[in-house]
Amino acid sequence: MNSICILLTDSESINEKIILKSYNYLLKVKIKKIFFIGSKKKFIKIYNKFSKNQKFRFINIVFKKNKQIDYLTNITNKAITTCKANKRWLILNMPLNKKKFLSSKYPGYTEFFSYYLDKKKNENMLLYNEKNFSVCPLTTHIQLKDVEKKITEKKIRNCILNIVNFYKKMNKKIRICILGLNPHAGKDFNKKNKDIDVIYKTVKKIKKLGIDIEGPISADTAFMNDLNHKVFIGMYHDQVLIPFKTINKFDGINITIGKKILRLSPDHGPAQDLKNKNNRVNNESFLRCLDFCSKKINV
């Protein structure tokens, strides 16, 4: 049975409301131990609600004014240390405001976590759905004008192998579909392009390893039918996150793959505008995170 560290990140978000709304689910979910790591002062309602039950433990990390990145570093390092010292531990971080909590060095928490875990830039962000399809953007939070130069054989190969290794741990068979960068996966262009020169050649080599993969395929029709048991690799963030969120709604979670510790989070932002609107707070993605953590995984 797994145990988890829940990182209490952004106090100006709906994070506290989501966790409080999920109290009964947290009590019954098959997770051995749940550590909340964060500021007791900023998340006092969680502390008061959960500290009375032995299943939960609160580790207080002091939050200093205007020191958001220091706070995020401290709670992340505490969770990493806890996981390294114990077997079958996972990290679940709550959403955060990237502008306030991350410097320009880190496009998102995926890269931030990877750096503080082992300083290796070999991570990928997987948007995971248990029953339907999942997606993995090759590049994450960068401008479109910078995408093409980031597409390399090494980066594609690493992404594919990270996906394959993750699903082996999950004992799940999948088919990988890699999308083209250009319209119609570059087939309409006479000149050489990334689809022909890099993506196609990389997929051809990967197939020789016995991996079930196809591509590059045209992104405009990729999500029309037969989606089950497929993982789509997109060349940029919105190419795959738009169809994933449109079709799966809140039934999805964000997982960092390619690392020795599994880290996941709900698949939505901090939603500061909903902080005082209880009836509009949706905790489904957080519950799916808990469901994932309760499964037997070869972490």
| pLDDT tens profile 188-233 | 887 789 999 999 999 999 999 999 999 999 999 999 989 999 999 9
Percent of the chain with pLDDT over 70: 97
Task: Calculate the dihedral angle through the C-alpha atoms of 181, 119, 104, 144, rounding to the nearest 10 degrees.
Answer: 0
Please, what are the domains in the chain?
1-121+273-299 (3.40.718.10), 124-258 (3.40.718.10)
Locate 200 and state its tokens: 């196609």
Of residues 283 and 187, more confidently modeled: 283
pLDDT in tens, 57-82: 999 999 999 999 999 999 999 999 99
Could you read off the pLDDT of 24-48 as tens digits, one per residue? Answer: 999 999 999 999 999 999 999 999 9
pTM check: above 0.85: yes
Q: Which two tokens stand for residue 15?
A: 């994070």
CB hemisphere CA count around 90 (13 angstroms): 25
Is residue 111 predicted with pLDDT exceeding 90? yes
The candidate with the shortest Cα–Cα distance to 76, out of 29, 109, 105, is: 109
Report the C-alpha gap between 63 and 265 in whole angstroms. Answer: 21
